[in-house]
Amino acid sequence: MKFFTKIANQGFCLITALLLFSPLATYGQTGTIKGTLRDASNQNPLIGANIMLAGTNMGAASNSEGQFVIPRVPVGQYTLKFSYIGYSQQAMTDVVVRSQRITFVEVALQPSALASEEVVITAGYFPQNDEQPTSLTSFSQEEIRRAPGSAGDISRILMSLPSIAKINDQSNSLIVRGGSPLENAFFVDNIEIPNINHFPAQGSSGGPIGVLNVDLIRDVDFYAGGFGAHFGDRLSSAMDIRLREGNRDEFDGQLDFNFAGLGGVFEGPLPKQRGAWLLSLRRSYLDLLVDAIDVGTSIAPVYSDAQAKVTYDLGKRHKLTALLVRSDDYNDPDQDTARENDMLYYGNQDIVEQTIGVNWRALWGGNAYGNTSISHTATRFKEDFYETGSGALLVKNRSHEQAVQLRHLSHVQLRPEVALELGFETKFLRADYDNFYPPYSDAFGDTVQALALQHDPHATKMATFATLQIRPVSALSLTFGGRLDYFSFNKNASFSPRLAVTYQISNRTTLHGAVGLFRQNLPLLLLAQNDANKALRDPLASHMVLG
């Protein structure tokens, strides 16, 4: 044993010496920053904008397509500053440059409040979203990656926010302002995702481990209440996730081995420089350790996930993106294994969640843009839960749910101080249930009889929404919104008004407020259990936020 230890130590020293004294150790300690600069009000490129690397004399100017390049940047972490006449100045922190790698950034500058203003307004480090000013928290990729205790998991970084509570340390289930884990919405590149966690409880938004790879994320906006009319069918919160594009210049890849699993990220350009592709693959490795060595447990859940994004330029004003998000979860302990691990109950789980979709972004003239997406989501739950002592079947779940969704959102800048947002959603739902639930006692001590559910319900959801933002003076912003929803299963139609106000008291103090009504349809799994449930009304929440 000592012989092998000695050989290993000598080998390690040799490899370290080679790395330290080889030309590769000192060569190429620079990277490149590339990016795109756009007008936040209409998504048109900004030509001739200034980009500076804070603390250095390095910088660039954007070209006719709003693109810029800063080459030969020493490895490190930087702040980028963007300025353009008639636009608010913006700073982007935590821009990480790695050796011989390209760092991509996308920035949108807000126009000055008044058309007559022709000077650059110096803003702070935190750009403000005037359309959604209340309860909004934004995170960059780097903030998520380095957040203590998050392990690169989006949901875990949110648990530190004052409006969020968690069920326990083993779950990513979010309780927003006293709500339920069922009341949170997730969108990735304008496409709704039912859940972003592995091993979810059916219908819930939680799970012990996140699905999305943080290396693919560009930024995240989290709305803890008071969100705009373009988010609906949720009572508590909405999370808007935007993925970055792949490398448009060259093939790039990395292998990852961390707490979340073993995998890799790969990316590269499409032919003729018309776009790029991006792929992430990951698999857990705990089951491999259990098979090889004694790690203190014989239970090893297996999970894997994949995310892919393809971006294709139809033209200078039209862009098409295709998205894939998939997760596979498997856990199959037997009765003896459950006894060895002192488990009162055990379950066999085989869960698959997959969303595929396409989004079309179009720039209409010089003052409008739109996003149109169509997606298909499929979830399959194959679960059996047993009592360890007797081996009695407690729950049988054979659920297959599908949804096809069409979503459109248009933004029109009518005047410098007036903006209009319009959109609609249509979702077709179909499910197939073959489930069994045992009798139990509810919170009032009453016995609920056993239920055998064999049903294949279907339904349609439709919604239209509009938002009008007005800035009568530079210090005041008013946002009026409304949303009309219809659910065919119980024939419910409802209108949900929204109002948000922002008033800048001074350069350092801004007052935000929002009020509105928020509704959410009951899940098909619940409605299908009894025909009388068709008479149930949608749950309603009133939000009043001030800060």
Give the model's pLDDT for residue 260. Answer: 75
Give the model's pLDDT for residue 463. Answer: 98
Q: Which domain holds residue 501?
A: 128-546
Contacts of 157 (CB under 8 A, 6+ apart): 139, 143, 144, 147, 150
Say yes or no: 239 and 359 in one domain. Answer: yes
Say yes or no: 138 and 110 in one domain. Answer: no
Where is pLDDT greater, at 297 or 495?
A: 495
CATH number at residue 359: 2.40.170
Last residue of a domain, one of 91, 106, 127: 127
Does the residue 1 lie in any domain?
A: no
Last residue of a domain, one of 127, 146, 174: 127
Say yes or no: 72 and 149 in one domain. Answer: no
Listed ranges 25-39, 83-97, 202-216, 369-383; the one with the highest mean pLDDT: 369-383
Does the residue 188 lie in any domain?
A: yes
pTM: predicted TM-score of the whole model, two decimal places: 0.86
Residue 400 φ/ψ region, left for φ over 0, alpha for ψ in the -120 to 50 degree band, beta for the rest:
beta
| Mean pLDDT of the residues in the chain | 86
By mean pLDDT, which of 154-158, 186-190, 407-411 is the weakest? Answer: 154-158
By mean pLDDT, which of 52-56, 146-150, 413-417, 478-482 is the weakest? Answer: 146-150
Does the residue 386 lie in any domain?
A: yes
> Is residue 126 pLDDT above 50, yes or no?
no
Say yes or no: 395 and 309 in one domain. Answer: yes
Does the residue 232 lie in any domain?
A: yes
The candidate with the shortest Cα–Cα distance to 168, out of 204, 197, 206, is 206
Q: What is the mean pLDDT of residues 415-436?
A: 95
Per-residue three-class SS string for 33-95: EEEEEEECCCCCECCCCEEEECCCCCEEECCCCCEEEEEEEECEEEEEEEECCCEECEEEEEE
Say yes or no: 99 and 133 in one domain. Answer: no
* pLDDT, tens digit, 9 for 90 and up, residues 303-331: 999 999 999 999 989 999 999 999 999 99
Last residue of a domain, one of 127, 157, 177: 127
Say yes or no: 32 and 62 in one domain. Answer: yes
Say yes or no: 290 and 346 in one domain. Answer: yes
Q: Can you tell me the distance from the alpha carbon of 172 to that of 174, in angstroms, rounded to the nearest whole number?
A: 6
Say yes or no: 117 and 167 in one domain. Answer: no
Go through 353-386 and write b for each residue having 16 or more CB atoms within 10 A of its CB, e for each that does not. bebbbbbbbbbeeebbbbbbbbbebbbbbebbeb
Say yes or no: 517 and 388 in one domain. Answer: yes
Does the residue 139 lie in any domain?
A: yes
Say yes or no: 39 and 145 in one domain. Answer: no
Which residue carries 């149109």 as its tokens?
Answer: 372
Say yes or no: 349 and 463 in one domain. Answer: yes
Domain count, the chain: 2
Say yes or no: 490 and 533 in one domain. Answer: yes
Does the residue 265 lie in any domain?
A: yes
Where is pLDDT greater, at 241 or 336?
A: 241
Does the residue 14 lie in any domain?
A: no
Rg (CA), the chain: 26
> Is residue 297 pLDDT above 80, yes or no?
no
CATH number at residue 52: 2.60.40.4130
Does the residue 10 lie in any domain?
A: no
Where is pLDDT greater, at 339 or 17?
A: 339
Contact 177, 123 (CB under 8 A): no
Give the model's pLDDT for residue 129. Answer: 58
Give the model's pLDDT for residue 170. Answer: 73
